[in-house]
Amino acid sequence: MAAGGHPWRPMGLESVGGHGAELGAEALVPALIVLIVCLAVIAANVVIIATIVSMSGPKEVIKYYLLSLAASDLLAGCVVAPLSVYPALVHQWVYGAHVCRLMGYLKVTLWASQAYTLMWIGVDRYLAIVKPLRYDTIQTKVRCQCWVAVSWLSAMVLCCPPVLGLSSPLYDAGAYICLADWSDMLGYSATVAMMVLGPPVITSSYTYGFIFHMAARVRTSYAQTLDKEYLSAVVENLANPDIVMTFVLTVLFWLSWLPYIGLRLFEFAAGAPVDAPFLHFSLFWMGMLNSVWKLLVYLVASEDFRRGLRSLCRSLCCLCRRSASPVPV
């Protein structure tokens, strides 16, 4: 599947050109898979954004976090992933080293923004249980929008050195993607890895662990020691299906991407690539499918989302009927 025998290689100007690879079934199959994943990601997140935006009534603050996730997935589906279709056909990167460096930066930035956003979703659900009577005053729309902006800005700033030319781009010829090469900046790379992976993993583990622990405790004699008004608010918030939905979103995100992250960390520690192009391809694009599974999670776990989607479909059908009806002369 990969040319040259190595699943990844440094991306230089000398390895950019050359479109003479023969197109066969071996090339068409991965290119078709990449194209299908791109279209599925775009379609799923257009539906998510259109549904959430079109929902009537005041929007809950969590909707802004979900819009941030969908916007990140849509950018990946529209800008980043499509550039892998043609390289899958010709078995090499054909867009130049500068584009390769930019795509590597966008990939890690969009991924980090999602990790931070999921972390803030966990904090939001945690506050709904810890401070149920003051939740509406603590988690305002403006504060939520600020946390979304902080997530994006933090990801953009932390991951910017590779795009500034401080390291050479890296082309994964097994997955047909460009990555940021952090091997030239070991100290900075370790710091970024701790700042990007550490807070989301630790925070999400603690917040959801506390939530499910509290859900178990309110069913025991512990509930009798709580103020009745507080207990009533806690029980009501624990019954909110958004808790299970956001927990599943977080778990799916990490389960989707940890195999590819683990592979890259193993290669980094070993100092050599794993010569298994199919493994690179399958693990990376399995991670990209996380952008599609979100729609299925919303459909299964959220009645509000299903109701909003039905309303959106009815509105679109009415518009189509009005546009198709003859105009009276």
| Domain count along the chain | 1
Measured CA to CA in angstroms, residue 299 lies from 120, 237, 242, 305, 315 at distances of 22, 20, 12, 7, 19
Tell me what pLDDT residue 166 has.
58
pLDDT surpasses 60 at 51:
yes
φ, ψ of residue 171 in degrees (nearest 5): -105, 120
pLDDT at 276: 86
Could you tell me if 267 and 13 are in contact, meaning their C-beta atoms sit under 8 angstroms apart?
A: no
Q: Which residue has the tokens 């916007």?
A: 71
**pLDDT confidence of 165, banded at 50, 70, 90?**
low
The one-letter amino acid code at 177 reads I
Instruction: Note the pLDDT of residue 229.
Output: 83
Lowest-pLDDT range of 4-13, 139-148, 208-217, 238-247: 4-13
Within-domain flag for 64: yes
Work out the number of other CB atoms within 10 angstroms of the CB of residue 261: 15
Does residue 267 sit within a domain? yes
| Alpha carbon distances (Å) from 219 to 135, 206, 212, 238 | 22, 20, 11, 12
Confidence of residue 6 (pLDDT cuts 50, 70, 90): very low
Tens of pLDDT, residue by residue over 105-141, are 899 899 999 999 999 999 999 999 998 888 888 888 8
Q: Quick one: 282 exposed, middle or buried, by C-beta within 10 A (0-12, 13-18, 19+)?
A: middle
In a domain, 51, yes or no: yes
Give pTM, 2 decimals: 0.86
Amino acid, res. 325:
S
> Looking at the predicted structure, is the pLDDT value of residue 199 above 60?
yes
- What is the pLDDT confidence band of residue 10, given thresholds at 50, 70 and 90? very low
Domain assignment present for 323: no
The reply to whether 206 falls in a domain is yes
Residues 143, 148, 152, CA angle at the centre, nearest 5°?
145
Q: Where are the alpha helices (DSSP H) in 131-185?
A: 135-138, 141-158
Q: 289 lies in a domain?
A: yes
Q: How far apart are CA 172 and CA 93, in angstroms?
A: 9
Task: Reply yes or no on whether the pLDDT at 161 is more than 80.
Answer: no
Q: pLDDT at residue 23 above 60?
A: no
pLDDT tens string 66-84: 999 999 999 999 999 999 9
pLDDT at 256 over 80: yes
User: In which band, very low, low, confident or very high, does the pLDDT at 90 lie, cut at 50, 70 and 90?
Assistant: confident
Structural domain containing residue 226: 8-309
Q: Is the pLDDT of residue 152 over 90?
A: yes
pLDDT at residue 4, rounded to an integer: 39
At residue 297, the pLDDT reads 95
SS3 (DSSP) at 8: strand
Percent of the chain with pLDDT over 90: 42
Task: For residues 138 and 151, give the distance between their C-alpha atoms in angstroms, rounded to a whole number.
Answer: 18
Per residue in 202-212, pLDDT (tens digit) is: 999 999 999 99
Residue 14 pLDDT > 50, yes or no?
no
- Cα 271 to chain center, whole Å? 28
> What per-residue confidence (pLDDT) applies to 319?
79
* Mean pLDDT taken over the chain: 84
Task: Catalogue the long-range contacts made by 77-82 (C-beta closer than 8 Å, 24 or more residues apart).
Answer: 77/38, 77/41, 77/42, 77/45, 77/291, 78/42, 79/106, 80/106, 80/107, 80/110, 81/34, 81/37, 81/38, 81/41, 81/288, 82/38
- Secondary structure element (H or E) that encloses residue 36, with its range: helix 25-54
pLDDT band for 17, please (50, 70, 90 cuts): very low
The reported pLDDT for the residue numbered 58 is 55
Return the pLDDT at 125.
Answer: 92
Asked whether residue 325 is domain-assigned, the answer is: no
| 2 domain-assigned | no
Q: What is the pLDDT of residue 257?
A: 94
Beta bridge partners of 179: 170
pLDDT at 5 over 90: no
pLDDT in tens, 176-193: 998 877 666 677 777 878
CATH number at residue 284: 1.20.1070.10
